[in-house]
Amino acid sequence: MAYPMQLGFQDATSPIMEELLHFHDHTLMIVFLISSLVLYIISLMLTTKLTHTSTMDAQEVETVWTILPAIILILIALPSLRILYMMDEINNPSLTVKTMGHQWYWSYEYTDYEDLSFDSYMIPTSELKPGELRLLEVDNRVVLPMEMTIRVLVSSEDVLHSWAVPSLGLKTDAIPGRLNQTTLMSTRPGLYYGQCSEICGSNHSFMPIVLELVPLKYFEKWSASML
């Protein structure tokens, strides 16, 4: 959950999000070094009158400023491709949840159970209890077991939506007539908030997502009470 005046990412809760944070720091350091070098060269050109005449047409310099950017791009591309393939990989999910986007609410179906499905609407501000978050609380949370691989199938009934939970590194488009899939695994219990991330109409801002990750024994009790 983000806090007021936060500048960085939310704390990572899944292995994929941890990898994304490491990649972000890696890329940002490269950008910082390039920016520092360019700023140093510009300040040097503005403050000194010395000119190296043989630098203007030296092939060695041209070779360096051609090869060096290529190396930098490789250092960025290889970790990026690694994470991209990790995000698409789904290995033997323990549970499958089907998520359908509507104007303007989400519906969930636990496909491994015979009759376990519900709609999830945002709680109006006038009905919030003390301590609950405005525009983020829902009447039915998605309860899932932690430390287990969960497959999420995402689609839509009407227009484009996007199912996104930042702290888990999830963002999957909900497209009518198309079934997209993603995977999630939480390393610790807790409440994780998200919102629709695709402009889908006048009430686009009122489609929150709340995941409640709990130990397996509590999930089994919850699922038994819902059936």
25-71: pLDDT as tens digits: 999 999 999 999 999 989 988 888 766 666 666 777 788 888 999 99
Residue 91: its pLDDT value, please? 79
Mean pLDDT for 146-158 is 93
DSSP 124: P
Same domain for 82 and 97, yes or no, is: no
Same domain for 172 and 124, yes or no, is: yes
Split into its structural domains, the chain has a count of 2
Of 86, 113, 148, the last residue of a domain is 86
Same domain for 131 and 42, yes or no, is: no
The whole-model pTM stands at 0.84
What percent of the chain is modeled with pLDDT above 90? 74
Alpha carbon separation from 168 to 35, 64, 109 (Å, rounded): 31, 40, 20
Residue 56: its pLDDT value, please? 61
Task: Retrieve residue 115's tokens.
Answer: 């009759």
Residue 1: its pLDDT value, please? 73
Structural domain harbouring 120: 93-224
Same domain for 43 and 139, yes or no, is: no
Of 40, 63, 86, the last residue of a domain is 86
Of 86, 112, 147, the last residue of a domain is 86
CATH code for position 100: 2.60.40.420
* 125 within domain boundaries: yes
* 8 within domain boundaries: no
Same domain for 107 and 214, yes or no, is: yes
Same domain for 158 and 70, yes or no, is: no
In a 13 Å sphere around the CA of 76, the CA atoms on its Cβ side amount to: 13
Residue 157 pLDDT > 90: yes
Same domain for 79 and 99, yes or no, is: no
The region that residue 149 occupies, defined by phi over 0 for left and psi between -120 and 50 for alpha, beta otherwise, is beta
Same domain for 111 and 203, yes or no, is: yes
Alpha carbon separation from 114 to 105, 107, 143, 159, 223 (Å, rounded): 23, 16, 17, 28, 11
Residue 73: its pLDDT value, please? 94
- Tens-place pLDDT, residues 180-216: 999 999 999 999 999 999 998 888 999 999 999 999 9
* 1 within domain boundaries: no
Same domain for 214 and 107, yes or no, is: yes
Same domain for 151 and 176, yes or no, is: yes
In a 13 Å sphere around the CA of 89, the CA atoms on its Cβ side amount to: 9
